[in-house]
Amino acid sequence: MGHHQAPLPDFDRLLSIPKEIFGLKKFYTDEFDAFKKYYSKINQCMDDNSIRYLANEANELPYLLPCELSSKVKKDSKNEGQNFEVAPMKQTNDKIEFANSCLNLVESHNRGKCLVTTSQVNQGDILIDETATVLQVNPICNCVDGEHKMFRCHHCAFAVNKYLACSHCNVVIYCTPRCLIQSYNDYHKYECEGFQRHYWRLDDSDHSYIALRMILYGARYNFNHDIPANHDKWGINGNNYPFVYRLKTNFDKMPILRVYEILRKAAHTIIYLMVRTNFFSELQPQNETILHYYVGGLFVKHYCQAQMNCVQLRYPNFEADYSFNTVGTSGKAICPTLAMLNHSCSPNAVVVLCNDRVLVKAIRKIEANEEVTIAYKEINPFNSLQERQLLMLHYFYFETVCDCELCFYESTWQEYPFKCRSCALGRAKKMTLNNGEEKLYCKNCTSFSFIDHKAEKSALIAGKLYKSTYNIEPILRVLDSCTKIFPCDSWVLMDLYKLLFDKFYTWGEKPIETMKYGLCYYKVLEKYMPKLYPAVLEAKLCFIYGTLNTREFKALEKVTKTEFATVQRFSDECLRAKKDILFYVPHKVMGPYATELVSHLQNVQVKLRTMKER
Ligand X SMILES: C[S@@+](CC[C@H](N)C(=O)[O-])C[C@H]1O[C@@H](n2cnc3c(N)ncnc32)[C@H](O)[C@@H]1O
* Sites of contact with ligand X (CB under 6 A): 111-114, 248, 250, 308-309, 339-340, 342-344, 396, 398-400, 402-404
Integer Cα distance of 111 and 612 in angstroms: 55
Nearer to ligand X, 122 or 400 (CB): 400
Amino acid at 447: S
Q: How far is the CB of 112 from ligand X (least distance, A)?
A: 2
Q: How far is the CB of 400 from ligand X (least distance, A)?
A: 5
442 and 422 Cβ atoms separated by less than 8 Å: yes
What is the widest separation between alpha-carbon atoms in the chain?
90
Nearer to ligand X, 318 or 398 (CB): 398
Q: List the one residue out of 109, 98, 102 whose CA is nearest residue 234.
A: 98
Nearer to ligand X, 386 or 599 (CB): 386
Q: List the one residue out of 322, 320, 330, 321 whose CA is nearest residue 84.
A: 330
359 and 118 Cβ atoms separated by less than 8 Å: no
Nearer to ligand X, 376 or 553 (CB): 376
Q: How far is the CB of 334 from ligand X (least distance, A)?
A: 11
Nearer to ligand X, 392 or 485 (CB): 392
Q: How far is the CB of 53 from ligand X (least distance, A)?
A: 33
Q: How far is the CB of 379 from ligand X (least distance, A)?
A: 12
Amino acid at 171: V
Q: Are strands 558-559 and 612-613 parallel, antiparallel or unpaired?
A: parallel
The residue whose Cβ lies closest to ligand X is 112
DSSP string, 436-492: S-EEEEETTT--EE---HHHHHHHHHHHHHHHHH--HHHHHHHHHHHHHHS-TT-HH
Nearer to ligand X, 50 or 383 (CB): 383
Nearer to ligand X, 5 or 400 (CB): 400
271 and 50 Cβ atoms separated by less than 8 Å: no
Integer Cα distance of 80 and 176 in angstroms: 9
- DSSP annotation of 371 reads B
Q: How far is the CB of 110 from ligand X (least distance, A)?
A: 6
Residue 310, phi then psi, degrees to nearest 5 = -75, 150
Amino acid at 162: K
Nearer to ligand X, 27 or 398 (CB): 398
Sign of torsion, CA 170 174 178 183?
negative
Q: How far is the CB of 333 from ligand X (least distance, A)?
A: 12
Q: List the one residue out of 194, 197, 237 whose CA is nearest residue 213.
A: 194
Nearer to ligand X, 455 or 535 (CB): 535
Nearer to ligand X, 111 or 569 (CB): 111
Nearer to ligand X, 246 or 421 (CB): 246
Nearer to ligand X, 45 or 334 (CB): 334
Integer Cα distance of 85 and 355 in angstroms: 8
Q: How far is the CB of 125 from ligand X (least distance, A)?
A: 21
DSSP helix/strand/coil, 530: coil
82 and 589 Cβ atoms separated by less than 8 Å: yes
Nearer to ligand X, 305 or 547 (CB): 305
Backbone angle region of 78, left / alpha / beta, with phi > 0 → left and psi within -120 to 50 → alpha: beta
Q: How far is the CB of 215 from ligand X (least distance, A)?
A: 20
Q: How far is the CB of 137 from ligand X (least distance, A)?
A: 20
Q: How far is the CB of 6 from ligand X (least distance, A)?
A: 35
Nearer to ligand X, 309 or 605 (CB): 309
Per-residue CA distances from 18 to 6, 21, 346, 534 (Å): 22, 6, 49, 52
543 and 518 Cβ atoms separated by less than 8 Å: yes
Q: How many CB atoms lie within 10 A of CB 415?
A: 10
Integer Cα distance of 143 and 140 in angstroms: 9
Q: How far is the CB of 392 from ligand X (least distance, A)?
A: 7
Helix axes 189-196 and 256-276, enclosed angle (nearest 10): 110
Q: How far is the CB of 247 from ligand X (least distance, A)?
A: 7
Q: How far is the CB of 309 from ligand X (least distance, A)?
A: 4
Nearer to ligand X, 36 or 111 (CB): 111
- DSSP annotation of 358 reads E
Amino acid at 424: A
Q: How many CB atoms lie within 10 A of CB 544?
A: 23
Q: How far is the CB of 307 from ligand X (least distance, A)?
A: 9
Compute and round to an integer the Cα radius of gyration of the chain: 29
Per-residue CA distances from 483 to 216, 459, 490, 517, 524 (Å): 60, 10, 9, 14, 13
Integer Cα distance of 46 and 274 in angstroms: 18
